[in-house]
Structure 1
């Protein structure tokens, strides 16, 4: 049984890594269409996936894309805010440019896209917004003041949206997924001792896979989670700090 049969989904940061896995997962579970958005080009084998070039800091382009989807499909049932960047540095040496860049993409970018999509969901009286946060947003991390601020910020925004968007009986839900240490091309190049340090801090003793995050997103996007809103699901293998 397909879990999001006939749904229209929009996924930012969908070209590669965890975002691409989310796109492919939603497409495989019966979505009518999954619109993947990213700064770069991408191709997908699934016929119900369409890729669009999008910068989440460009509000006008976002509005144009949402209008395009509305005109063609009449709705957006699922929004997954996945686009994000890192520019790590110790707090006392972090440049203003590094701070601004991460805030603009990871926090304001989520605000921009959700603000454009939410009115369409509230008009249709239903929708699921899933934002990718991070365990760093829950617990902090050395060298990631900017990233932690954004990932904690999206959790706070999500709690607020869960209250605002469900007024007047609208079944619009907003939740977060907070990944822990996930095996991606970025972790493939890390030294063995760094990987071992990650494993030592994880109760299950292994890295998560992008599929683990996509499965959590699918659950929150589907009607299986119809009574869940304003929550953050930590997918970290039992991370201990």
Structure 2
């Protein structure tokens, strides 16, 4: 029997990553760049321009042979997705990561039409229009990869997430539809992170984080081992015990995205892949 083959690299492929200025998006950029992938890093406004440019500069320092550039386009607008795809200059788009998202927690009585529109424009309409605009540039040999960033909120029924949870459930539904429609072009999958140590999650209220506590207590990979309590999490063990377990790391989520983008993942499509340490165990 021959030795185990090495994973194929992504050299020569082009990926577009939305919401790439920080957190999970920046970690995905790092993961794909380490595999040789050229990147278009997207951010939505002047507010995130500096962060996104820093991600780009840091990656080019380590991977100067790659083509990595930043494009500002608000995927929450009607025109932003087309502008982002146009920035690829007609090149084949091998990988499309719908990572940009927005959140907001409101109890049912406080939900407004404006808040509904704000979240659905970014989390649902944005990915739909982006994939639609990318259609002429996707591969025709099933080598394309589309990965959508969903959330455990799509299936957990968390309080105050009528809107946010609904956007992520819609994104998962579109993932399955696109997997069928684009079967000759690309695989289409979603990931469903739980609490991840990002600016977005750290901005949630103490009340919301305490709602998550019993769920983290049931999450296998959120529990600190004795070695972790004495090692990398020594200074934070008490903090995570208070919260029911540790949060995920952006690079852990990015590793799952990188796996889905590989050639070896070519027989996986239409799935919501666990990226939450086992908080959600789907059938």
Give me the TM-score of the superposition, normalised by structure 1. Answer: 0.88
Which runs of structure 2 are paired with 1:169-208 in the superposition (5 Å)?
Answer: 170-188=184-202, 194=210, 197=214, 199-204=216-221, 205=223, 206-208=246-248
For the residue of structure 2 that corresponds to 1:157, the secondary structure is helix
| DSSP 3-state at the match of 1:46 | helix
Let me know the Cα RMSD of the aligned residues: 2.3
The aligned residue for residue 56 of structure 1 is: 75
Distance 2:114 2:251 in 1: 33
- CA distance, structure 2, for counterparts of residue 155 and residue 191 of structure 1: 28
The TM-score with structure 2 as length reference comes to 0.76
Once the two structures are superposed, what CA deviation does each residue of 1:59-91 show, in whole Å capped at 9, x if it has no partner?
4343233233143xx200000000100121001
Cα 1:28–1:112 change in 2 (3 A) is same
* Whole-Å separation in 1 of the counterparts to 2:89 and 2:155: 35
Q: How many residues in Structure 1 have an aligned counterpart in Structure 2?
A: 235
| Alignment correspondent of 1:30 | 36
Residues 1:117 and 1:218: Cα distance change in structure 2 (over 3 Å):
same
Gaps of 5+ in 2: 1-6, 61-65, 224-245
Instruction: Point out 4+ residue stretches in structure 1 off by more than 6 angstroms.
Output: none
- The match for 1:12 among 6, 9, 18 is 18
CA offset digits 1:85-118 (Å, max 9, x no partner): 0121001221111111001110111111111112
Unaligned runs of 5+ in 1: none
**Contact in 1 for aligned 2:152/2:280 (Cα 8 Å):** no
Task: From the superposition, tell whether residues 236 and 68 of structure 1 become closer, same or farther in structure 2 (CA, over 3 Å).
Answer: closer
Other-structure match for 1:95: 112
Inter-partner Cα distance in structure 1 for 2:125 and 2:280? 29
Query: Counterparts in 2 of 1:1-241, with a 5 A limit?
Result: 3-31=9-37, 33-39=38-44, 40-41=48-49, 42-43=52-53, 44=56, 45-47=58-60, 48=66, 49-71=68-90, 74-121=91-138, 123=140, 126-166=143-183, 170-188=184-202, 194=210, 197=214, 199-204=216-221, 205=223, 206-239=246-279
